[in-house]
Copies of this chain bind each other. A is one copy, B any other.
Amino acid sequence: MTPDTYTLETIDTPAALIDLPRMQHNIARMQHRMNALGVKFRPHVKTTKCLDVVRAQLAAGAQGITVSTLKEAEAFFAAGIKDILYAVGIVATKLPRAMALRKRGCDLKLVVDNAEAAHAVVDYARTHGERCEVWIEVDTDGHRSGITPEQDALLDVGRILKDGGLDVGGVMTHAGSSYDLNDRAALAALAEQERAGCVRAAQRLREAGVPCAAVSVGSTPTALATEHLEGVTEVRAGVYVFFDLVMHNVGVCAMDEIALSVLTTVIGHQPDKGWVIVDAGWMAMSRDRGTAKQSHDFGYGQPCALDGTPLEGLTLIGANQEHGILAASDGSVRDDLVARFPVGTKLRVLPNHACATGAQFPEYQAVSSRGAVQTWARFHGW
C-alpha cells in the first residue's frame, strides 16, 4: 500500500478502480454464506493477483487460497500464505518449480486428472525423496478438465498416487458452466450436481481405500446458489470479490455490487455518429465480450458517471487498442452526448469480466468511501 495521494480527479486514465466498500461487502457476503453452510472458504486469487485484496479475504475468514499459476503461488507464499491449492493440472516440467515451493515450507497442493501426470508426480517425489500432497480433479459438468465421478480412471489415478507414496489430499471440481445460466433454479440444480458429483467421487475413492479428506467445489454462481453442501469440506470462488457484468447477467449480483471499474477520460467526439471517444479501449477493458451471448449484451462495458451511477441507455459499443466508443445502446444517434460529456469528462466503465479486465493493469486504484485512493500492486505472467 502507498499513502493516500490521489483522488479520482488527479489520477491518470485509464485506471482500474476498486470500490472498497463494495469489495468489502462482497467479501463479507460470501464469507458469511460459507460460514452458514458450514464449510471452509478458499478464495481463488486469480481474479485479482493482488496481495491487498487477498489479505482482506483472509481477514474476513478465508482459509487458504486457490491459485491458477505457479507465479501466484510463489508471490503469495512470499507474503506468508502457506495453504495453497494450485488448481490447474500439473505436468512433469512444472514439478521442479512446484516442489521447490514445498521444500521452502509452502503447503502447496497439486492437482492431477490423468495417469501420466500422477505417475510424473510419483516419479519425481520418489527420485528426489520428497513428500507431496495431490488432489484429483473431478469433472461434474463437462465443461473443461477432470475425471467424471463414475469413471474407472478416478480410482486408477487415486491408486497410482497412493501406491506411489503420495498424500492424496482430496478431490476438487469447478462447475464453470454455471456462467452460462441465468436462472436461480438452474443454478441451484447445477450447484447440487457439482456437490453430489464431487462427494460421490470422494466416496468411491474412500471405498477403494484411497484417503480423500478434502471435498472442494466451487464457482461464484454455484457458491451463491447452493442450498446445502453436505459432504463438502470447502468452497472456492474468485470473481465474487469484484463481480462484473457477466455475473450480473447470471443473476448473482446487483449492478451496484460490481466493485471493479475502469476510470476513463473523454478525448473526443464524432457528433455525426453520436459517438463519444474515451481513452478506455480494449487494452484497458480487455477483449472479453462475455456478455455477448447473454441476455443483455453490454458491449465492451457499462458506462457510469464518476460517482458510479450507470448511464442508462449508453454502452461502450466499440473498442480499439486505446480508444473506446461510447454511444447509445440502441444504435440511435444521440445528439445530446457532445454537450453532456465534453472533452476531459471523467467516467467509469463496468467491465464484462473482472478477471480479464484486471489483468490489463499493473495496479489497482483502491477507492475508499471518502474518495481517497491507494495504489495496490498486482502482477501478471506465469
Q: Is A322 an interface residue (CB 8 A)?
A: yes
A363 contacts which chain B residues (CB < 8 A)? 381
A230 contacts which chain B residues (CB < 8 A)? none
- Interface segment among A100-108, A111-119, A326-334: the answer is A111-119
Q: Which of A88-105 contact B (CB under 8 A)?
A: 88-94, 97
A289 contacts which chain B residues (CB < 8 A)? 287, 289
A37 contacts which chain B residues (CB < 8 A)? none
Q: Is A361 an interface residue (CB 8 A)?
A: yes
CB-based contact A344/B93 at 8 Å: yes
CB-based contact A267/B88 at 8 Å: yes
Q: How far is the CA of A247 from the CA of B53 in the complex (A)?
A: 39
Q: Which of A49-84 contact B (CB under 8 A)?
A: 68-69
- Interface segment among A25-33, A123-131, A198-206, A352-360: the answer is A352-360
Q: Is A342 an interface residue (CB 8 A)?
A: yes
A356 contacts which chain B residues (CB < 8 A)? 282, 287
Q: How far is the CA of A267 from the CA of B14 in the complex (A)?
A: 36
CB-based contact B144/A323 at 8 Å: yes
Contact mask for chain A residues 18-53; partner B; CB cutoff 8 A; 1 contact, 0 none: 000000000000000000000000000010000000
CB-based contact A91/B267 at 8 Å: yes
A277 contacts which chain B residues (CB < 8 A)? 89, 144-145
Q: What bracket does the count of chain A residues touching chain B fall in?
A: 35 or more
A94 contacts which chain B residues (CB < 8 A)? 12, 265
CB-based contact A116/B381 at 8 Å: no
| With known contacts A91-B343, A116-B342, A356-B287, A323–B380 Cβ distance under 8 A | no
Q: How far is the CA of A13 from the CA of B89 in the complex (A)?
A: 13
A279 contacts which chain B residues (CB < 8 A)? 88, 91
Q: Is A283 an interface residue (CB 8 A)?
A: yes
Q: Is A286 an interface residue (CB 8 A)?
A: yes
CB-based contact B176/A114 at 8 Å: no
CB-based contact A322/B359 at 8 Å: no
A380 contacts which chain B residues (CB < 8 A)? 360-362, 380
Apart from A94-B265, A145-B268, A283-B359: 16 A-B pairs, beta carbons within 8 A: A12-B94, A13-B93, A15-B382, A46-B321, A68-B322, A88-B279, A88-B322, A91-B266, A93-B344, A116-B343, A117-B268, A142-B273, A144-B320, A144-B323, A145-B277, A282-B288
